[in-house]
Homo-oligomer: A and B are copies of this chain.
Amino acid sequence: MRIYGEEHPNQEILSRIATNDGHGENSSYFDGWKAYENDPFHLTDNPTGVIQMGLAENQLSLDLIQDWMKKNPQASICTEEGVSEFKAIANFQDYHGLPAFRKAIAQFMEKVRGGRARFDPDRIVMSGGATGAQETIAFCLADPGEAFLIPTPYYPGFDRDFRWRTGVQLLPIHCHSSNKFKITQAALETAYRKARNSHIRVKGILVTNPSNPLGTTMDRDTLRTLVSFVNEKRMHLVCDEVFSGTVFDKPSYVSVAEVIQDDPYCDRDLIHIAYSLSKDLGVPGFRVGVIYSYNDAVVSCARKMSSFGLVSSQTQHLLASMLGDEEFTTSFLATSRTRLCGRRRVFTDGLKRVGIHCLDGNAGLFCWMDLRPLLKEATVEAELRLWRVIINDVKLNISPGSSFHCSEPGWFRVCFANMDDTAMKIALRRIENFVYRENDAAVQAKNKRKWDETLRLSLPRRFEDPTIMTPHLMSPHSPLVQAAT
């Protein structure tokens, strides 16, 4: 297919938005997708193609939904059993949404949070995926030029969703591996002060919980720190909880909804949640986003804005039935978590065998993989060089930390739930082979050069990570494998 208009021959007649690159697609994050699309792996048709590990997609439990649909033909307006609802549903365009849909979504959000938080169906506002939810929230809360603070690393899509058409800024709260990228009060204060010193009005904080890309959940204390901070400064806290149904391991999930329920001093007008079914159910094509605000004016305004991205009534109707089936959702969530947990374990165990570590994670569809030992130097350039090798030679599309605004080079997000077991095995084998090859190269280099030169030019950063400072480091086969033993 021809893609039109990559150039802008008529800049003067279009808008600034149309002629700048605020959409954020000029990023290695999206370049990786393109590399995959140009040469997509297929077990039989293109076995040497690029394996897509840059897309946080949940394909592991779609069979459960498919089975449910076979058993519930009445839930669809396209079946003999359900078609009598067709006219009413096809015509339904009230931006409040189908009452049964709102109720089912609220129920599902409660179930995902273990019943520890309550959600009012009348506060459920629809949006075109989490993408639309984020933009709507930004339009409601901030004027152009105003800013939200956001802990790094963060999801690159926010640059489009939250900023592009709204003119709102995102300013980093720098987080570090030294404390597993947790947000601290000090980091918050630093980011806030820096903005104020630049005369930028800070309107709030945007976080993902579970974190994309870290695959971790926020602890209760961190959430309390954030809630206190926004109350003290009278600004907003936006929690993107689109991965809340993927928490597959301890510690158990704590939503901001739960924290503020227990906090009589919190001004709830400042708290907003973005949700979506794309990740938890694995149905991104259905474009189901949700804005859940505790602020009445935001609910009212966001609902008016929802006209720009309502969920298809055909989809609302189907999901109202499906999410209203408590037995199904209970069983779906349990099975989905078990499968995600199993898949992550297969992947991280495989990585460990070649000495690669990931940040400890308990949620999400991805690992935050530490390739700092493989960097030639601790720079973004070196990270991107390594990334290009991985894309072009190893044929895996993984996403470099710099595309997530990470302040430490060498981290990569690797998605593990958008493929079958076979593709996962092949991906792991490619990584193993790559590591062996790198090590062989290092050994050869050793034989040619002096020891200290090898250390400086070839693998200098390995020694910055104490976890791999072992006597086996330069084993002829795999220092990283040895380090992990």
Contact = CB atoms under 8 A, between A and B. Distances in A.
Given A62-B86, A282-B91, A314-B314, A10 B297 contact: yes
Interface in A61-86: 62-63, 65-66, 69-70, 73, 75-80, 82-83, 86
Q: How big is the A interface, by class?
A: 35 or more
Between A13, A141, A305, the greatest number of chain B beta carbons within 10 A of the residue's beta carbon is seen for A13
Contact of A140 (B9, B17, B146): B17
A99 interface: yes
Contacts of A65: 86, 90
A5 interface: yes
Interface stretch (A131-139, A175-183, A328-336, A446-454): A131-139
Given A83-B66, A282-B90, A287-B310, A5 B295 contact: yes
Interface stretch (A108-116, A121-129, A337-345, A426-434): A121-129
Contacts of A314: 285-286, 312, 314-315, 318
A2 to B, nearest CB: 6
B309 A312 contact: no
Contacts of A304: 23, 25, 160
Nearest to A317: B285
A300 B1 contact: no
A226 interface: no
Contacts of A461: none
A283 interface: yes
Interface of A: 1-10, 13-19, 23, 25, 57, 59, 62-63, 65-66, 69-70, 73, 75-80, 82-83, 86-87, 89-93, 96, 99, 122-123, 128-129, 131-132, 135, 139-143, 146, 160-161, 165, 203, 234-236, 269-270, 278, 282-287, 295-301, 304-305, 307-315, 318
27 contacts: A4-B300, A6-B296, A7-B297, A8-B297, A9-B296, A10-B295, A13-B235, A14-B141, A14-B298, A15-B141, A17-B140, A18-B297, A23-B304, A69-B78, A73-B78, A75-B78, A78-B79, A90-B282, A90-B285, A91-B283, A92-B285, A93-B284, A129-B310, A160-B304, A165-B165, A286-B314, A287-B313
